[in-house]
């Protein structure tokens, strides 16, 4: 652990849990999740200013961390790596929300603003990764009980609003929100229980 001598005591504890998680110990990853879930959530909430989206992105962030735990470099604190994932996740989210961004740049010295349209399409590599993530998530969602599976599918795959889901399922919005919260927790627990 010489290369880790600059780490704080908490970072060293995290490192032990990360090393155990790399060997497939889900309890170790759960400890990391419990330690950082609130910090990641509030970081994302400050970044995107939407509680529901921040909850979703927190789950996504930890899912990415768990799936890619073997890419973590032990030279740095786990928290640094995790917050980098959260930062990238929030940037991707914001980009997707703002698909029709137009940049205006001056061309030559004519002082005429010319619109520059940036491609919002993902690269072929990113398309493959996105497809693999979607397949993985759909498989995990299909393992949930029907009521939770339907809620997740309506909210995240079909992108229904809470109001649309409430109307579709003939339930109050408060019930829908509570059950979706439970469904997200079950989904995360289901993901963290699998050896990746």
pLDDT in tens, 77-94: 888 899 889 988 888 888
Contacts with 142 (C-beta within 8 Å, 6 or more apart), sequence order = 149
Range from 35-39, 69-73, 135-139, 168-172 carrying the lowest mean pLDDT? 135-139
Cβ atoms within 10 Å, residue 92: 15
Tokens 């060997």 belong to residue:
23
Q: Are 147 and 179 in contact (CB under 8 A)?
A: yes
- Answer whether CATH 1.10.1740.10 is correct for domain 1-120: yes
User: Nearest to residue 80, comparing CAs of 40, 28, 27?
Assistant: 40
User: Quick one: pLDDT at residue 104?
Assistant: 45
- The answer as to CATH 1.10.10.10 being correct for domain 122-196 is yes
- Would 1-120 and 122-196 be classified into the same CATH topology? no
- pLDDT averaged over the chain? 77
Helices (H), the chain: 9-22, 26-48, 51-67, 78-97, 124-142, 146-152, 162-169, 173-192
Would you place residue 4 in the very low, low, confident or very high pLDDT band (cuts 50, 70, 90)? low
What is the percentage of the chain residues whose pLDDT exceeds 70? 75
Greater confidence, 89 or 126?
89
More confident residue, 14 or 98: 14
For residues 174 and 163, the answer to whether their CB atoms sit within 8 Å is no
Is 166 in contact with 172 (CB distance < 8 Å)?
Answer: yes
The dihedrals phi and psi of 75, each to the nearest 5 degrees, come to: -70, -20
The arithmetic mean of pLDDT across residues 92-114, rounded, is 57
Q: Where are the domains of the chain?
A: 1-120, 122-196
Q: How far apart are CA 57 and CA 82, in angstroms?
A: 13
- pLDDT at residue 122 greater than cutoff 80: no
Would you mind telling me the total number of residues written for the chain in this entry? 196
CB 81 within 8 A of CB 72: yes
- The answer, as to whether pTM is greater than 0.85, is no
Could you read off the pLDDT of 162-188 as tens digits, one per residue? 899 999 999 998 888 888 888 888 877
CA of 86: how far to CAs of 25, 58, 65, 141, in Å?
A: 22, 8, 9, 22
pLDDT band for position 3 (cuts 50, 70, 90): low
């Amino acid at each position: 652990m010489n290369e880790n001598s600059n780490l704080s005591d908490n970072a060293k504890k995290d490192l032990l849990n990360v090393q155990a998680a790399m060997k497939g110990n889900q309890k170790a990853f759960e400890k990391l999740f419990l330690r950082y879930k609130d910090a990641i959530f509030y970081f994302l909430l400050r970044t995107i200013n939407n509680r529901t989206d921040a909850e979703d992105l927190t789950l996504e962030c930890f899912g990415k961390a768990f799936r890619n735990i073997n890419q973590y470099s032990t030279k740095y604190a786990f928290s640094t790596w995790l917050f980098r994932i959260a930062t990238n996740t929030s940037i991707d989210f914001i980009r997707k929300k703002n698909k029709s961004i137009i940049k205006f740049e001056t061309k030559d010295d004519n002082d005429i603003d010319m619109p520059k349209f940036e491609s919002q399409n993902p690269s072929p590599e990113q398309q493959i990764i996105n497809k693999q993530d979607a397949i993985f998530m759909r498989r995990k969602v299909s393992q949930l009980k029907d009521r939770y599976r339907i809620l997740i599918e309506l909210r995240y795959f079909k992108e229904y609003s809470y109001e649309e889901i409430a109307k579709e399922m003939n339930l109050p919005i408060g019930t829908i929100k509570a059950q979706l919260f439970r469904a997200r927790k079950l989904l995360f627990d289901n993901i963290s229980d699998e050896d990746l």
